[in-house]
Amino acid sequence: MIKRRYLICLLLVLSLFSLFLGVSRVTLSGLLHFDPAQWQVFIASRIPRLISILIAGASLAISGLVMQQLTRNRFVAPTTAGTMDSARLGILLAIILFPGTSMLTKTIIAIITAFLGTLVFITILSKLKFKDVIFVPLVGIMFGNIISSVTIFLAMKEDLLQNIAGWLQGDFSLVMSGRYEMLYLSVPALLLVYLFANRFAIVGMGESFALNLGVNFKRIQYLGLAIVAVVTSVVIVSVGVIPFLGLIVPNIVTLYLGDNLKNILSHTALLGALFVLACDILGRVLIYPYEIAISLVVGVIGSGIFLLLLFKRFRHV
């Protein structure tokens, strides 16, 4: 079993490495001698980038864990349930209906559309008679592709296709002071997950079981979907789409810690932040001084891990 302290130590080491990695020269000696240019880069770029990586990684991993708990399916996540596609549709609607609007307005509209889109997916899921572990996420992917097609159609019609394409690619290179603070909205959402972890676990056992234990099934389910919608929308508006993260990290954690939701929350958050940070560093050093977008690095590595998880599951069937 991977100890929590090992994850924390590795996260601290990679965080320090990330702070001093980049084209603009920042050194410990320069900071200690109060070099104004180095301090400006450190405060305006390096620290915001590190904070956004840690928050985005932890929050997306936790949101994937919540979705898997609510749907009782290990292969459901914001990327396979139409949540991210719905959030992108909300951003486009905000651009069309309220041109020149603030980031907060875009985020609010994206949260609403993400929540409604995920609710539709859950409703479809409740109507399915055949709920195979692979069939359910396939339905979610098809549902997401329908929403994505509507988004692309509207973007082409309004000549905003290039604008929307920018939201499809996760990228931390543009994160600067004043442009990432929206991510802090994810922090209270993660605290709510911890506070309601036991209720989410009960809801994951089914409606009849939850009602027998006195838990309001619909209310807790809607709360979970709202948390996922908030986290997903905030991350997309701030840094773009990061694929596979909410899918693979919870599965890796449950492999070595089991399914107790409250016990694995901290490990899931740490591993999510660590995974995104490691991928970001890899994308920055592979073709230095240029940079590979985080969505591409996570997509390549995440897809390989996802295939391994699939093969491992079917070997035990």
Does pLDDT of 317 surpass 50? no
Name the pTM for this structure.
Answer: 0.88
Q: How confident is the model at residue 77 (pLDDT cuts 50, 70, 90)?
A: confident
Q: Residue holding tokens 């907060």?
A: 104
Each residue's pLDDT tens digit, 6-58 = 888 999 999 999 988 888 888 888 888 888 888 988 888 889 999 999 999 99
Average pLDDT estimate for 296-313: 82
Q: Are 138 and 116 in contact (CB under 8 A)?
A: no
Least confident among 18-27, 163-172, 199-208, 213-222: 163-172
| Mean confidence (pLDDT) of the chain | 84
CATH number of 48-161+170-315: 1.10.3470.10
Q: Give 158-161 contacts, CB < 8 A, sequence gap 24+.
A: 158/96, 160/92, 160/95, 160/96
What is the predicted pLDDT for the residue at 198? 85
Inform me whether the pLDDT recorded for 316 exceeds 50: no
Q: Lowest-confidence range among 132-136, 140-144, 291-295?
A: 132-136
